[in-house]
Amino acid sequence: GAVVSQHPSRVICKSGTSVKIECRSLDFQATTMFWYRQFPKQSLMLMATSNEGSKATYEQGVEKDKFLINHASLTLSTLTVTSAHPEDSSFYICSAPRLAGTSNEQFFGPGTRLTVL
Amino acid sequence: AQKVTQAQTEISVVEKEDVTLDCVYETRDTTYYLFWYKQPPSGELVFLIRRNSFDEQNEISGRYSWNFQKSTSSFNFTITASQVVDSAVYFCALSVLKGANNLFFGTGTRLTVIP
């Protein structure tokens, strides 16, 4: 099956630094990718939709200037957490849908655990 | 708007017992997809099943089975003869064909299988 990779899998950084997370679809092209955030013992919540060739769309309450998304190619989307603070510590997961007709397959990356000290 | 409800926050069963995880969804779209994922402590989501709204056939895969009932907007998941390795958080999710196709997740059910 299709594979989506994420890098890094784990990152620890100091407060105020920026962190970049990459999401790649390894064997299919994804014009759209999704970024989810999961706080401890909570569900996954959609943060933003990354669109190749256009601006990302953000969910209500997500600061677009803080969470920069760049869909650089049909296989790569990056999420940059700028000036990270401890409250940004979370598990970030990307996904890429592969649509074919009425089929909707969703492929998730393995996630990135961010800890901001 | 789409919504997924998993009323059971935590369930504990003794090994070899059967357990059913409930999932109720809400959507006004007529074409939609339902998913179940397993999330072990590592955090990585493990895909279990995808079902589209036009296919109400129940499915069995080994010890896993799913009961999809459109009349009650439910998509329940049963594990037969549970094992310790089944301990994880299980998420039910919904996506609709129209729109962005992102998933709307339920709040998850933490299953603990006691040896």
Q: How many CA atoms lie within 13 A of A74 on its CB side?
A: 5
pLDDT of A22 strictly over 90: yes
pLDDT of A34 strictly over 70: yes
From the list B35, B50, B105, the residue facing A43 with the nearest CB is B105
* Whole-number Å distance between alpha carbons of A50 and A31: 8
pLDDT tens digit string along A55-74?
999 999 999 999 999 998 99
Amino acid at B50: R
Contact (CB<8Å) B45/A91: no
**Count of Cβ atoms closer than 10 Å to residue A12 Cβ:** 12
Per-residue model confidence (pLDDT) at position B7: 96
Pairwise pLDDT comparison (B27 vs B58), residue with the higher score? B27
Instruction: List all residues of chain B from 75 to 114 with a beta carbon under 8 Å from chain A.
Output: 91, 95, 97, 100-108
Per-residue model confidence (pLDDT) at position A88: 96
- Percent of chain A exceeding pLDDT 90 equals 79
pLDDT of B90 strictly over 80: yes
Min CA distance, A8 vs chain B (Å)? 13
Per-residue model confidence (pLDDT) at position A102: 54
Non-local CB neighbours of B25 within 8 Å, separated by 6+ positions: B2, B3, B4, B5, B32, B34, B73, B74, B75, B92, B94
Question: What single DSSP character describes residue B100?
Answer: T
The stretch A42-51 carries a mean pLDDT of 95
Q: What count of residues does chain A have?
A: 117
Per-residue model confidence (pLDDT) at position B71: 94
Contacts of B107 in chain A (CB under 8 A): 42-43
CB B62 within 8 A of CB B50: no
pLDDT of B74 strictly over 80: yes
Per-residue model confidence (pLDDT) at position A100: 62
Degrees, nearest 5: CA angle A51-A56-B39: 80
State the pLDDT confidence band at A1, using cuts at 50, 70 and 90.
low
Coil/strand/helix, residue A38: strand
Per-residue model confidence (pLDDT) at position B97: 79
Per-residue model confidence (pLDDT) at position A27: 87
The stretch B42-69 carries a mean pLDDT of 92
Per-residue model confidence (pLDDT) at position A103: 62
State the pLDDT confidence band at B100, using cuts at 50, 70 and 90.
confident
- Percent of chain B exceeding pLDDT 90 equals 84
Q: Pick from B1, B18, B7, B3: which is nearest to B90 by CA? A: B7
Task: Measure CA B83 to chain center.
Answer: 17
- Mean pLDDT of chain A, nearest integer: 92
Per-residue model confidence (pLDDT) at position B58: 87
pLDDT of A110 strictly over 80: yes
Task: Measure CA A85 to chain center.
Answer: 18
* Whole-number Å distance between alpha carbons of A110 and A92: 9
State the pLDDT confidence band at B39, using cuts at 50, 70 and 90.
very high
pLDDT of A104 strictly over 80: no
CB A67 within 8 A of CB A55: no
User: Chain B interface, mutation test: which of A94, A106, A115, most B Cβ atoms within 10 Å?
Assistant: A106
